[in-house]
Amino acid sequence: MTGNAGEAVSPRVKNLNLIGPKVRHLRHQRSWSQNDLATRLQLLGMDEGTRCRVSKIEARLVWVSDEDMIYLARAFKVEVGDLYPEMIRKARRLHEAIGSAKASRYGMA
């Protein structure tokens, strides 16, 4: 599975990224719809910046590439690192924080 927007996603596959909940939070904070974010991503040049792709990123159903991270950060006008949950950015034991974020439904606890 490569994570492309047009691919089917197995219901057993989940939590493929750590930034989905933060992307959703940043989008809500700005009162943007998923389509609003997709439009901004497309204007920046992200070919896969569709509403469906945004939905899958937020639901953590697709892997997010380095390039996607840069587009998302630019769309939100934040640093790439700001896309990660605070618990990961401030973790002393990074491995444990990442494991907890992957295991959590919301990627935060």
Query: Exposed (0-12), middle (13-18) or buried (19+): which is 19, by Cβ within 10 Å?
Result: buried
Express each pLDDT in 14-49 by its tens digit: 689 999 999 999 999 999 999 999 999 999 999 999
Complete domains list, the chain, with CATH:
20-103 (1.10.260.40)
**Nearest Cα to Cα of residue 64 among 20, 95, 13:** 20
CA neighbours closer than 13 Å in the CB half-sphere of residue 44: 21
Cite the beta strand spans of the chain per DSSP E.
none
Report residue 106 as tokens: 């919301």
Write down the pLDDT at residue 13.
Answer: 53
Express each pLDDT in 80-99 by its tens digit: 999 998 877 777 787 777 77
Report residue 72 as tokens: 């998302």
pTM of the model: 0.80
Per-residue pLDDT averaged across 60-73, rounded? 96
Q: DSSP class of residue 82?
A: G
